[in-house]
Amino acid sequence: MLRFIYTLLLSIVSPFLFLSLYKKKEGKPPFGSRWKEHFGFTPPLKTTKRPIWVHAVSVGEAIAATPIIKALKKQNPEQPILVTTTTSTGAEQINKLGDLVEHRYMPVDFSFAVRGFLKATNPKKMLIMETELWPNTLYTVAKFGIPISVLNARLSEKSYLGYKKVQPIFNLLGKHLTHVCCQYQDDADRFIALGIDEKRVHVTGSVKFDIEITDDVIESGKQLRHELGSERSVWIAASTHKGEDEQVLAAHQELLKTIPNALLILVPRHPERFNSVFELCLQSGFTCVKRTSNQVISSDTQVYLGDTMGEMLTLIGASDVCFMGGSLLGDKVGGHNVLEPAALGIPVITGPSYFNFEEIVDLLSNNSALEIVASPEQLPSNLSTLFCNNERCNSMIKNAARIVKLNQGALLNTVNYIKL
């Protein structure tokens, strides 16, 4: 009965969900004729061998899934892997894996759509990145006899309280899960408190710590820094959101008063906002150059707009200090992954809202490996201090490297549970 009521409600709200999903935006790849895949009209795979199915809803989850996919292929090169995403930007990220995987769009959470997908692909396991749980999907997949594991799972206190309010619905979800591989003990405790058998809940750590920094990434970061100006003070505002860009630009304007040659690398989180953020920079009075323009960066350039996908590590590597976006907007976003700059040896600053990465941020902060600003007004002074204090920067870099190294190993732990 609960699933029937849920499906009825989903039928009512789904037109609005699809309107948002299919709405054309600048920089957002079109779905084209592949929109039918959301309704279970899934093209057959290239192989008849049963694939491992990895679901990564969008870009962030796709990035987190990449090292797991590579590890699985390394262990068994002949094992086909199917990756689904809901968004076209997620699909674009997965396409970078080339022939390692096949991509299909995730069917919407109607049983008929999920059945169509399963009949076309016949997966032997479903691996869900983080916590993308849908009642009809889990029910239908389990009915087909396919084990379901949640990887790199996280459950914030806010999400836990939300699920607690609809406990009967969560019960529909939890009973179908074979393994829940959590990032931290707090996450595991919350899943258990919601009724999942503790024998199925494991603490594997966060695969985000198992970051692979290749020589190519390091070299491309150095090359870009040379182009930007080796003698300048360069900071990056990574993965910013609407409403946050204005705060970052105001901070940069203030910073220029004390460090006139400072350069801001501004990287919006969503590619459809690249052009609007460029216009915002110009309207705010900054001399701004887009990365895609291939223009020479002069000493007069004040903002360098990172309007490309898949180059975040290069852009961070070209910086002296990284401010991680999604952290100045109250409870709207909850921050982004601060481990990438930490692993690259770049001092990190975050705003006060980082609930999606609370354990990681607190761990780094408590070990003097990261700074937290209470408000956007504090950002310029923190940046200025770091630019002028090499000893402080070196200490943060050293502490961050130690924390990252101590917490690596989640990838191996996770892959071991996948094999069970």
**Residues β-bridged to residue 127:** 54, 149
Tokens of 296: 């020479």
- CA dihedral defined by 337, 314, 398, 155, rounded to 10 degrees? 10
Which residue type is seen at 8?
Answer: L
Which among 146, 73, 62 has a CA at the least distance from the CA of 96?
A: 62
C-alpha span between 131 and 134 (Å, rounded):
10
Distances 285 to 102, 303, 330, 341 between C-alpha atoms, Å: 45, 10, 27, 29
Indicate if 61 belongs to the active site.
yes
- Out of 61, 130, 244, 311, which one is annotated catalytic? 61
As to burial, measured by CB atoms within 10 angstroms (0-12 exposed, 13-18 middle, 19+ buried), residue 54 is buried
281: closest CA among 251, 305, 261? 305
Sign of the C-alpha dihedral, residues 87, 88, 93, 94?
positive
Helix (H, G, I), strand (E, B) or coil at 347: coil
How far is CA 224 from its chain centroid? 24
- Bridge partners (DSSP) listed for residue 267: 238
C-alpha R_g of the chain: 22
Select from 347, 268, 341, 255 the least CA-distant residue to 305. Answer: 268
3-state secondary structure of 273: helix
Pairing of strands 102-105, 81-85: parallel
* Integer Cα distance of 393 and 268 in angstroms: 25
C-alpha span between 133 and 74 (Å, rounded): 28
Could you tell me the two tokens for 226?
A: 């040379």
DSSP 8-state code for residue 297 = P
372, β-bridge pairs: 350
Comparing C-alpha atoms, which of 266, 275, 262, 267 is closest to residue 302? 262
Local structure of 232: helix, strand or coil? coil
**Cα separations (Å) of 395 from 99, 362, 367?**
42, 17, 10
Is-contact 86 58, C-beta < 8 A? yes
Active site residues: 61
